[in-house]
Amino acid sequence: MNFTLLLFLAVVLTGLIWLVDLLALRRRRAAGQHESLVVDYARSFFPVLLIVFLIRAFLFEPFKIPSGSMIPTLRVGDFVLVNKYSLGLRLPLIHTQLTQGGPVRAGDVMVFRYPKDPREDYIKRVIGLPGDTIEVKGNDLYINGKLIPQKYVGPFTYHTHEGYAIPTQEYQQELGGHPFHIIEFDTPEAQMDFGPYKVPPHCYFMMGDDRDNSNDSRFWGCVPEQNIVGKAMFVWFSWDANDWSIRWNQIGRSLD
């Protein structure tokens, strides 16, 4: 059971108790009967739970980064705020679209339900739009036959969960007006070829910024439009579990 479902059930339960109190129990109290503690709590928590549910369901939702697949942009322990309304409003839980929003753009960082297990949320960068042809040759990315340039930034030290430091290389790319950084392992073992693959209609090709350590569309295919949760906006908190410290330099980082 995910948090949205639990929150929805809490709203329904407290709302029903509040409604029963409004229609029946309040008259008994007027006749001298004491108010139940359960009714008091339900009446107090119902409006708060309802507001939180509506905000999470239709406007914004926090998301914790669970893996290093988006390094160097996002680190494990980053908390990002996801914009859910810019791409169109959807009914919570059943995900039926209510309104038409703006288009998904190449380069956007998106949270989506993993196609092979929709109970899991993933976060990756949009690389290919519907109709695009994607091909990867070693560390080179081609979209519609055009090589996407990458500018060398410098060495980057990759820190694993186990505390190992692995040297990699950092590059800058740009898609859809989004400049962003990626890391790559400059070893033949880490490089892979993929495609060419044409993205089907109403589907998006996703890749992690940690190009050689990302479980993404190269392995399980594209993300259907209905699986999109929302666009990641910025990092609102960052916690480094390895040394129990706050990453102040990550907080406030824009992903737009």
pLDDT digits (tens, 9 = 90+) for 208-248: 999 988 999 999 999 999 999 999 999 999 998 888 899 99
Do residues 153 and 179 share a domain?
yes
Find out whether 207 and 180 touch, Cβ atoms under 8 Å.
no
Do residues 49 and 83 share a domain?
no
Residue 138 lies in a domain: yes
Q: How many helices (DSSP H) and strands (DSSP E) are in the chain? A: 4, 15
Q: Decide if pLDDT at 27 tops 70.
A: no
Mean pLDDT across 32-52: 84
Q: Among the options 36, 44, 64, 69, which is catalytic?
A: 69
Produce one character per residue of 179-193: b if its CB has 16 or more CB atoms within 10 Å, e if not: ebbbbbbeeeeebee
Taking phi first (over 0 means left), then psi (-120 to 50 degrees means alpha), and beta for anything else, what does residue 47 get?
A: alpha
Cα separation of 232 and 86, whole Å?
Answer: 11
- 124 a catalytic residue: yes
- 151 a catalytic residue: no
Q: Among the options 44, 116, 124, 146, which is catalytic?
A: 124
Do residues 103 and 219 share a domain?
yes
Cα separation of 193 and 181, whole Å?
Answer: 21
Q: Count of domains in the chain?
A: 2
The pLDDT of residue 92 is 85
Give the domain extent around 37.
3-58
The pLDDT of residue 108 is 96
Mean pLDDT across 26-51: 78
Q: Decide if pLDDT at 174 tops 80.
A: yes
Do residues 71 and 189 share a domain?
yes
pLDDT digits (tens, 9 = 90+) for 120-157: 999 999 999 999 999 999 889 999 999 999 999 999 98
